[in-house]
Structure 1
């Protein structure tokens, strides 16, 4: 199963690490589940929901550690997105990396994304 990703601001990432679990960002709490992106969805999620933000972290998550609370559901553009109907445990985090804005105003993440090999498989 391929790595999934959560985009967090620096304050949320710090709080998550200190608490050992993450109940969700305000949008997650409002929707009743934690939003994630698959590797091929990260760029679109950044552009749609986080454009211009400079305080972001890309957190790589091992989906196999989330059990039946992780559901893949139709969302943006009819694509299946991972949604977690539970708190996210810190133990499911593979790695995290800060995102920076490039000269064009788009976020730059290392490729492969943290937690994946060059083929998009979990490392």
Structure 2
């Protein structure tokens, strides 16, 4: 099992919990898949794509629970090295293992749990 992570605004996550699955952000819907990162990628993803956003949550899922809908691919346009997990479908609540708030520190950077590289 590998844990993968996505960054979700708290109001969007509340709606997903009521719906039973997370269908993604506007960016996810535009691109046709949910953007995830592994533990070594998620901090850089937050800094690049969600810098300074309050009410941000780190949603962690078990990649094995996502089956064939999860594909590891290069970043769009090859903008970053390595492969990123992309989920082609909604994120079912059954695959979610942890949801943690990411508060902002005094410099406006998100504070991650200690176990995230």
Name the TM tier (shorter chain).
over 0.9
Q: Which whole-Å CA distance do the structure 1 matches of 2:28 and 2:80 have between them? A: 19
Question: Partner residue of 2:97?
Answer: 94
Question: Partner residue of 2:64?
Answer: 64
Which ranges of structure 2 fall in alignment gaps of 5 or more residues?
Answer: none
Which ranges of structure 1 fall in alignment gaps of 5 or more residues?
Answer: 114-119
Q: TM-score by structure 1 length?
A: 0.88
Q: TM-score by structure 2 length?
A: 0.92
* Runs of at least 4 residues off by over 4 Å: none
Please tell me the root mean square deviation across aligned C-alpha atoms, in Å: 1.2
Cα deviations across residues 21-59 of structure 1 (Å, max 9, x unaligned)?
111111111101110011111111111111111110001
Shift of 1:78: 2.2
Kindly tell me the number of residue pairs found equivalent between the two proteins.
114
